[in-house]
Amino acid sequence: MKQLILASSSPRRQQLLSELGITFKVIKPKIDEKAVSLPTPKETVETLAQLKAKQIELNSKDEIVLAADTIVVCDGEIFEKPVSKDDAFRMMKTYSGKTHDVITAVAIRSLDQEVVFSVTTTVEFWTLTDEEIVNYINTDEPYDKAGAYGIQGLARIFIKRISGDYFNVIGLPISYVIRELRNFGLDIDEKIFPN
């Protein structure tokens, strides 16, 4: 029986898997994300996901680790979780009236197999007033999310359009993940569509 290990403490990733009836245990990896800086955002985020997956020790051929990392890229700059209200304000102001990319990288590994991939979704924001931004950053929502916003939360009112996978913006491109987990022998369909 295959056992899925989610190398993430993100409640949103846990929810996306749980809603499909997929069982997993959570082990939070410990890595210094600030120590990884590569030439492109895609390389950076894929390396972070891979490092997270490799942090988890596998004790059996039936264990499968799933790790992910999400970043927001706007005007060539990587935006991770904001460190302050001022930082969150700056991020939201940067997105105002423009498009940005949300990249989620996923690493899946077992004792004899590993895959790393990323998915990019383009998000366009309406032009925001300073008052709208201040009202938003005065909530608790921005501070545990890459890029300072959650598309599934209050920030949904700022989104003009998206191109790509919606769940990728939440933090896990679930349909892509499911297809890869099948290749690792996890009986996903039985969990999603029980008889």
* 2, two tokens: 């295959």
Q: Is 33 exposed, middle or buried (0-12, 13-18, 19+ CB in 10 A)?
A: middle
69 catalytic residue (yes or no): yes
For CA atoms 146, 88, 163, 158, the dihedral sign is positive
Active-site residue, selected from the candidate residues 69, 87, 130, 140:
69
Q: Which amino acid is at 20?
A: L
Catalytic residues: 69
